[in-house]
Structure 1
Amino acid sequence: MRGIDEDSGEYLGPSRSQRRREALDVLELGRRLSELTDAQLERLPVPEALLPHIRETRRITSHIAHKRQLAYLAKQMRREDEETLDAIRDAMDESGEAARREVAALHRAESWRERLLDGGDAALAEFIDAFPAADRQHLRQLARNALDERKRNKPPRAFRELFREIREAMADDTPEE
């Protein structure tokens, strides 16, 4: 029983309906987590204690047993503090701040890749100035190979590798602007 405040006459805690809505919200979050791959889970701020429960829920395929395991996962998740669950929700949310930062980083890396391919050594010098830990020689070679692949209509292996190298360099350093 929640009880009523004797002075003001107001209820002391959330209603039973509100607690149920919150529990169902956590259950839905658990369902969404169990549908993710291991690689996707690694990018989320999921506590280590929940990972075995998520993997077990994913492993069970029998309908009723899966439902029961999902309820158990939700129970374990409700033991976590609300900030942790909010961080997971934000990271999973397409319109969340973490998703926006990730998309912005991808766009910056794509922009740098195009600048390196179009601008030659001048663009490479700008990139090295912004990200000093980057390997100049390797980036130059990848840019040359990517341009060669374009001319010969070959699969874009070096083009993709150049993108990966740029993202790694951008993740390692912060631009000095």
Structure 2
Amino acid sequence: MAKKNKVDFDTPEEEIIYVSRAELKRDAKELHELGADIAAMSKKQRKTIPLNEELIEAMELADRLKEKTEAYRRHLNYIAKCLRLAANIEEITKAVNILKNKHAQGNVLFHKLEHIRDELIEVGDNKINELVSEYPELDRQRLRQLTRQAKKEKAANKPAKAYREIFQCLKEVITQ
């Protein structure tokens, strides 16, 4: 009879974390999409992303391949594999998200400027004084003149030329 090895199940060893296959597939798909997003970016945008040498070379090859070919699809799989092995994946993801959301950030700024412009026309001097104290480079006299002119144009149902000029003045100074 063979001697059985006794295994002590009470001694704590390294805790094994089990990950489901579905979760692994989700992660792989996310990395594939991240790689496709990076490959679709311009070279100038890619320079701002902290990619390692292998990924930089893979992106250069992706630029040379045609997007609708099978080789391009396989190459995206290779890029996803390189991303899985990359040590700084969080930094790469963060940089890509920032680049993708530049347009949305611009929209938020424009909405903010439109709101400020509408308040300027409604409230008047109090809002102008508040804005000039917050942004000293604004021209108080020009803003007062434009708000008065915008009110007159609105009352006379004329084209809103001063309304647009207020927006341009605010856009020059307020960048955040």
Query: TM-score, normalised on structure 1?
Result: 0.53
Q: Find the counterpart in structure 2 of residue 62 from structure 1.
A: 68
Instruction: Figure out how many residues of one structure are paired with residues of the other and give that number.
Output: 156
Distance 2:89 2:169 in 1: 37
User: 2:115 is aligned with what amino acid?
Assistant: S
Shift of 1:63: 2.6
Shift of 1:143: 4.5
Distance 2:65 2:79 in 1: 13
Shift of 1:127: 0.9
Which moved further from structure 2: 110-119 or 45-54?
45-54
Q: Find the counterpart in structure 1 of residue 7 from structure 2.
A: none
User: 2:13 is aligned with what amino acid?
Assistant: S
Q: Find the counterpart in structure 2 of residue 153 from structure 1.
A: 159
Which runs of 5 or more residues in structure 2 are unaligned? 1-10
Q: Find the counterpart in structure 2 of residue 30 from structure 1.
A: 35
Conserved 8 A contact 1:57-1:66: no
User: 1:84 is aligned with what amino acid?
Assistant: E
Which moved further from structure 2: 82-91 or 6-15?
6-15
Query: TM-score, normalised on structure 2?
Result: 0.53
User: 1:30 is aligned with what amino acid?
Assistant: G
Distance 1:141 1:59 in 2: 57
User: 2:91 is aligned with what amino acid?
Assistant: T
Distance 1:15 1:133 in 2: 57
After the TM superposition, which residues 25-174 of structure 1 pair with which residues of structure 2 at under 5 Å, given as runs?
25-34=30-39, 47=49, 49=51, 53=59, 56-57=62-63, 60-78=66-84, 79=86, 81-88=88-95, 91=98, 105-137=109-141, 139-140=143-144, 143=147, 151-153=157-159, 159-160=163-164, 162-171=166-175
**Larger RCO, structure (CA 8 Å, separation 6 or more):** 2
Shift of 1:146: 5.2
CA RMSD of aligned residues (A): 4.8
Where 2:175 maps in the other structure, the secondary structure is helix
Q: Which has the larger radius of gyration?
A: 2
Where 1:128 maps in the other structure, the secondary structure is helix
Distance change (3 Å), C-alpha of 1:75 and 1:144? farther
Conserved 8 A contact 1:26-1:77: yes
Conserved 8 A contact 2:119-2:127: yes
Is residue 8 of structure 1 aligned with residue 13 of structure 2? yes
Deviations 1:111-144 (A, max 9, x none): 2110122333332222111222334455456556
Which runs of 5 or more residues in structure 1 are unaligned? 1-5, 173-177
Where 2:16 maps in the other structure, the secondary structure is coil
